[in-house]
């Protein structure tokens, strides 16, 4: 990764707030998370899932799993159940 690009990306969204109006999101949303992820705690993901009327929290066994192709099967199941599709290749 390019350090300057990472810094600029972080600066671009530093004032963004995710919590306002989550309850207005009416489409199906799948939120994948790993309880072992120390950077992105599962508490926040579960709270987001509760705030969105049609959200589903997708628990993953590890952070490594989250960054592997195995997550695709979970996403395909979510899409098939909620929108009748498959994850993009």
Note whether residue 30 is domain-resident.
Answer: yes
Note whether residue 88 is domain-resident.
Answer: no
Q: Determine the pLDDT at residue 39.
A: 80
Could you list the residue range(s) of the whole structural domain that residue 65 is in? 3-82
Q: What is the CA radius of gyration of the chain?
A: 15
Note whether residue 89 is domain-resident.
Answer: no
Q: What's the domain count of the chain?
A: 1
The H-or-E segment that residue 62 falls in is: none
Q: How many CB atoms within 10 Å of residue 60?
A: 20
Note whether residue 53 is domain-resident.
Answer: yes
Note whether residue 87 is domain-resident.
Answer: no
Residues 15, 75, 31, CA angle at the centre, nearest 5°? 30
Q: Which of 79, 66, 2 has the alpha carbon at shortest distance from 33?
A: 66
Could you report the per-residue pLDDT of 63-76, keeping only the tens digit for each?
899 888 899 999 99
Q: How far is CA 15 from the centre of its chain?
A: 19
Note whether residue 72 is domain-resident.
Answer: yes
Q: Determine the pLDDT at residue 89.
A: 58
Note whether residue 74 is domain-resident.
Answer: yes
Could you report the per-residue pLDDT of 14-47, keeping only the tens digit for each?
888 889 999 999 999 999 999 888 887 899 999 9
Note whether residue 23 is domain-resident.
Answer: yes
């Amino acid at each position: 990764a390019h350090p300057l690009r990472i810094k600029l990306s972080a600066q671009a969204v530093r004032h963004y707030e995710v919590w306002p109006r989550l309850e207005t999101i009416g489409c199906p949303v799948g939120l994948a998370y790993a309880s072992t992820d120390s950077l992105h705690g599962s508490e926040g993901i579960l709270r987001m899932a509760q705030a969105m009327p049609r959200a589903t929290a997708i628990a993953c066994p590890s952070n490594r799993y989250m960054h592997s192709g195995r997550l695709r099967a979970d996403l395909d199941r979510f899409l098939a159940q909620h929108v009748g599709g498959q994850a993009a290749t």
